[in-house]
Each structure stands twice: as C-alpha cells, then as structure tokens.
Structure 1
Amino acid sequence: MALLHRAELRPTKLELLATWLPGRVWYRGDADAEVVRVGAYRFDDPAGEVGIETLLVRAGTGPVHQVPLTYRGEPLAGAEDWLVGTMEHSALGRRWIYDACGDPVYAAALADAVLADAGQAEEYFEEDGERQVRPPNMEIASDAPAAEVPPVGAVRSIVDGDLTVIVTDGVELTVVRRPGSGASATGVALIGAWDDVSAPLAYAAPR
C-alpha cells in the first residue's frame, strides 16, 4: 500500500520533468511544451523507505512517455547520473527524485510486477484516522501466469534508450520509454491500459 500525503511540492513533479525530459535521448516532442500527466501507477517498497511511482506523461501533441521515478529521503550513492532533481515536500521535507531505472529498489519491484503479476500498490490517504482509498487511473497486468521471481541481486548495467535495459544478477528488465510506439523486447510483458489504449510497459526475462 502507498500512503499519500495531501502536501505541497516545490517544484512539482511535472515541473521537474518539464526541464529534465528534453535532455533524454528517448524524448520526442517540443522542449517548450507543457508536460501533462496521462496516467500513473505505483509499486510498494517492502522496506517502506522508497516511494516508487511511474508517470505516463505527454508534452504538447507529442507521444506518451513512461517515466518511472523513485522518491528518497537521502541521496542514492552512485546514482548521480539518474537524478531528476530535488523537491521540497511540505510533509516529508526534501526529497531526491531519481529516474527509477537507475535505482535497484525499482528493479526488484518491477521484476515482481512482471514475473509474479504483483500488480500495483493501492493508494490511500489518512484523514481523521480513516483510510480513504484513491482508485487507480490505469491498470497494469502481466501477460503470463505468475511465476517464481529469481533473486534480482545487484544492478550490473543499464543501457538507456527507447528501450531502457536494466541487467541485474538474476533478471534482465526492459522499460518501454514510449508505450504504444511498437517497440518490443523478449520476455514476459507488463501490459498497461489507460484511456482507450493498451500497450506493453516493460519486459522481464530471468537470466
């Protein structure tokens, strides 16, 4: 489960992405266009320390881009190249925001979602001691029967591109940066559905 806070963010996630996205090799669109959210889904960090959220966004009339993010209360050692930026969270203080493809916590969560069909985290607010669940605005599901997930282990290499490939000790993961573009990889697929679109979001294959 993902506990959400009714908080003020400075800058907002979309403001951060508006300056960060145009510098990505896989970005397609006008660098000056407004970035809007199309959909989002979250994973759980079993340790409860790292926020894991994937945003589907569009800039102007450009294609939908998939941006997995991790939110941390401290910098992630060795991940400077994957830092999107920092924000001030009115409830949690300073947060370091990373492109999650460079975060090992995300790699483990993505492997569970694809290979074990773990699904997305339930999102909720707490108000006056009562839990208020926020319905998901998109669906995700594995396209294969749930299987045992090998130990992910350490991240050994990452190749960023239209298909970002994350190689770990136990699994090779592929993140589709522009879902619906027709790009594909081998392995079990994680399928996303939003609006009237259904497309692969990621792939996983045990090594």
Structure 2
Amino acid sequence: MAFVHRGATLSPSKPEIVGQWLAATDWFHADPEADPIAPPLAYRFDDPAGKVGIEGLIVPYGGRYIQLPLTYREAPLAGADEWLLTTMEHSALGRRWVYDGVGDPVLVTAFISSIAGGTSSAILEFDAEDERRTAPTSVHAHGTGSGPMPTPLDVVSAERTASVSTVHTTAGVLRIPHLLDPAAPASSASLVGDGDALGSTLLLAEFIPG
C-alpha cells in the first residue's frame, strides 16, 4: 500500500515539475508553457523502509506518452545532487526533496524487484471520513518476470542518452524510456503499464541481467 494525502497542496505542482524537467532535456522540442502539461497519470511502488515516496508519472502530450519516474524524500540524498529536480512544499508533509528517480537507488531497486518477481505497483491508501480506504492508481504497473530478486544489487552508475535512461547495477542494466512507444515489445524481464486512460499496454522499463 502507498499512503497518499488526498487534498494536499503541492508547490511546485507535479505538472510544473514535469514541465521544468522537459524544458531541460535535449530531446523534447515543444513548448510546455504554450501547451500546458496535463495532470499526469501515475503508478507507485512502496519503499520497504517507509521513508521514500516512489512514483512514476506518465503524461499524455501531443498524442504520445512521456514518463518521468520520481522519488520524494524528507531529506537530501547524499551524492545525488545531479538528480535533484526541485524541493517541494507539501501541505501535509512539509518540505520534500524531489529526485529524478533514475538516480535514486530506492526506485531502481523497486523497479528491478517488480520486474524480476512479476509483482505489481502499489494500491493507494488514504483516510476518508475517519476510516482508511484504498483505491487503484490510474496506471497499473507490473513486472513480467517470475524469479527471485537478483543479488547483490548495488547501483554503479546512471546516465541518459536522448530519451532513455540507463542504470548500471551489480546485477545488470536497467533501461527506462522517457518517451513511451506503444509498439515497443515487452520481454520476460520488463515493467509494463496499463490502465483505461492509456488505451494500450506500455513498456515502462526493462532489465538485462549480467
């Protein structure tokens, strides 16, 4: 379960974060200010330690889908300054440090764990009318594997080439596309996403053991 604070205000908002990130890329050439970013679709994973928020944002834009994986932290992540996107003021949680998840080992581990074990993204949990309720996310992500978590798993490096990020780990390579292609085939070691708003299953990430 991933707990969310319904009704919380965020500054900057998630569409603003996506817009700022896109403006800094070398592969996105539209103008997010002229054509505003729509509220993103999303999927979440749990951090076993309960400290880091893990979320994949998927934004419909110009007939395509753009993916930005994020992590939300209560304090800065040591050694990850290049992956820090912004600090966010959350009305319920206070200040959060928002990272491009490609550079956060907690997100990398969550993605590879889901891919390897064939597990699914988290269900949302929230408080409403003095009781705890659950709801699905707008995107359901799940791995296609059926084996154990590869170990040892430590992040060695991360880099981006055009619209694809590549994370090298001691267990293999994780590739995360940011411009999603509905025609991209999934393998037996992929993270795929589906949902009513997507219209098709999308390849969200793939893992190459080695």
TM-score by length of 2: 0.89
- 8 Å CA contact 1:176–1:183 kept in 2: the answer is no
SS in 2 for 1:37: coil
SS in 2 for 1:35: coil
Deviation sequence 1:69-123 (CA, Å, 0-9, x none): 0000001111111111111111111001000000000110000111111210110
The corresponding residue for 1:52 is 54
Count of residue correspondences: 205
Matched, 1:202 2:205: yes
The corresponding residue for 2:118 is 117
Which ranges of structure 2 fall in alignment gaps of 5 or more residues?
A: none
Residue 125 of structure 1 aligns with an amino acid whose one-letter code is F
SS in 2 for 1:120: coil
Residues in 2 aligned to 1:152 and 1:62: alpha-carbon distance in whole angstroms:
40
Matches of residues 50-89 of structure 1 in structure 2 within 5 Å? 50-59=52-61, 61=62, 63-89=64-90
Which ranges of structure 1 fall in alignment gaps of 5 or more residues?
A: none
The corresponding residue for 1:102 is 103
Residue 199 of structure 1 aligns with an amino acid whose one-letter code is L
What is the aligned-residue RMSD (CA, Å)? 2.0
TM-score by length of 1: 0.90
Deviation sequence 1:179-198 (CA, Å, 0-9, x none): 11656797611121233121
- Residue identity over aligned pairs, in percent, reads 38
Residues in 1 aligned to 2:165 and 2:188: alpha-carbon distance in whole angstroms:
14
> What is the Cα deviation at residue 138 of structure 1?
2.0
Deviation sequence 1:7-45 (CA, Å, 0-9, x none): 111121111221221212343532422111342100010
Structure 1 runs (4+) deviating above 4 angstroms are: 181-187
The corresponding residue for 2:31 is 30
Matched, 1:3 2:7: no
